[in-house]
Amino acid sequence: MILHFAVHFNFINLIIDIMFGVRIEWKNGKNEHSLPTIKKNRIHKFSFVINKNIYYFCRPKNENKLIKMAKKLVTILAGRSSIKLAEEIADSYGISLGKVVVTDFSDGEFQPSFEDNVRGRDVFIVQSTFAPSDNLFELLLMIDAARRSSARQIIAVIPYFGFARQDRKDKPRVSIGAKLVANLLSASGVNRIITIDLHADQIQGFFDIPVDHIYASSIFINFLKKLNLPNITMASPDTGGTRRAGAYAKILNTDLVICYKQRSKPNEVEKMSLVGDVKGKNIILTDDIIDTAGSITKAAQLMMDNGATSVRAICTHPVFSGQAYERIENSPISEVFVTDTIPLRKDCDKIKVLSTADTFAEVIKRVVNYKSISSLFNFK
């Protein structure tokens, strides 16, 4: 009977080895039966317990075969607000960007549809949700379409998470927009969120699904080191960004200065004062969002008035609304380094764009292969 089982067992094992490049070992309790097996020098990878019998599925020597198989089960799609970035992410990951057609109707409605089969696949949908709110609704429709197309898993890659500044009730009778967006995304059927530099870390708690919150510091720190500027001092244009600027200062081993500002109304700074010494220093202002550029340009002028040698700025999300471009052009800021989470509306000699594509592609690889993401941001 054991011999009969061995013959059938090894026949099944041969089929599995041909199809998937893996082999199975059989053990029963403490006694091991040395059955004929294929390629004995494999490494144990997964185990399943069935009626006290342990079946070990082992990783093949050539992992490229599994990597290619995993890539075939991944589809990267893009909403209209992030097509260029999504193309770069897909290229960095090693696959082609999936085809999406959005039909616009005369009454202003629109409907996205996928031209590729996504059944049983891990679908990554790349879309920043900056204004107008059509970008957010387009993302919701794409998630719903993927769910109704039997995607195995739907991951929303949201480089810029819109409404993130509405993360609490700062006065009576107002909404918490970030929480509402989280509810909408969850209701649409998304399984996971990947985003970069949320305006407030606590937004992760608005979701009951996994949120991979990654940091643009992995891009900016390497870039700042390559500038080789002497006497660098990190600065925050407001007290809310002190923690962020402090993290950069610690990693780069520099001093830290802070601007204290008072607003008369949203997007308008009434008064700003400086905490720290900037005389003879090359200042790097850091912020997650530059909106109208009022705060960052006023802070830059304050630094120069107090004896700074130069002022540069780094920012993850270049919202650049209103007169932002004009203010930057007319300010003492020599350079502004931003990422491509939001496409620029116009060219500006002072603004330099750094790509997030490789970072997002690496995170996608780690999600697919169940590897650590936090290790990407362990700076030494």
Q: Are 232 and 285 in contact (CB under 8 A)?
A: no
Peptide bond into 132 cis (omega under 30): yes
Mean pLDDT of 135-147: 98
What integer pLDDT is reported at residue 177 of this predicted model? 97
What integer pLDDT is reported at residue 30 of this predicted model? 41
Percent of the chain with pLDDT over 70: 78
What integer pLDDT is reported at residue 271 of this predicted model? 75
Q: Residues 267-318: pLDDT tens digits?
A: 566 678 899 999 999 999 999 999 999 999 999 999 999 999 999 999 999 9
Q: Are 186 and 178 in contact (CB under 8 A)?
A: no
Q: Are 238 and 295 in contact (CB under 8 A)?
A: yes
pTM: 0.81
The torsion angles phi and psi of 359, rounded to 5 degrees, stand at -65, -50
Confidence of residue 62 (pLDDT cuts 50, 70, 90): low
Arithmetic mean of pLDDT over the chain: 85
What integer pLDDT is reported at residue 283 of this predicted model? 97
Instruction: Tell me: pLDDT of 15 over 80.
Output: no
What integer pLDDT is reported at residue 52 of this predicted model? 34
Please name which of 214, 208, 112, 114 lies closest in space to residue 159, comparing C-alpha atoms: 214
Give the range among 47-51, 136-140, 163-167, 239-243 with minimum mean pLDDT: 47-51
Q: Are 282 and 272 in contact (CB under 8 A)?
A: no
Q: Residues 179-233: pLDDT tens digits?
A: 999 999 999 999 999 999 999 999 999 999 999 999 999 899 999 999 999 999 9
Q: Are 76 and 95 in contact (CB under 8 A)?
A: yes
Q: Which of 261, 281, 298, 365 is catalytic?
A: 261
Pairing of strands 53-59, 43-50: antiparallel
Instruction: Tell me: pLDDT of 365 over 60.
Output: yes
What integer pLDDT is reported at residue 273 of this predicted model? 87
What integer pLDDT is reported at residue 3 of this predicted model? 43
Instruction: Tell me: pLDDT of 24 over 80.
Output: no
**Which structural domains are found in the chain, ordered by start?**
2-61 (no CATH), 66-215+359-377 (3.40.50.2020), 217-355 (3.40.50.2020)
What integer pLDDT is reported at residue 262 of this predicted model? 72
Q: Residues 76-98: pLDDT tens digits?
A: 999 999 999 999 999 999 999 99
Mean pLDDT of 154-162: 98
What integer pLDDT is reported at residue 42 of this predicted model? 41
What integer pLDDT is reported at residue 376 of this predicted model? 86
| Known catalytic membership, residue 261 | yes
Mean pLDDT of 337-349: 96
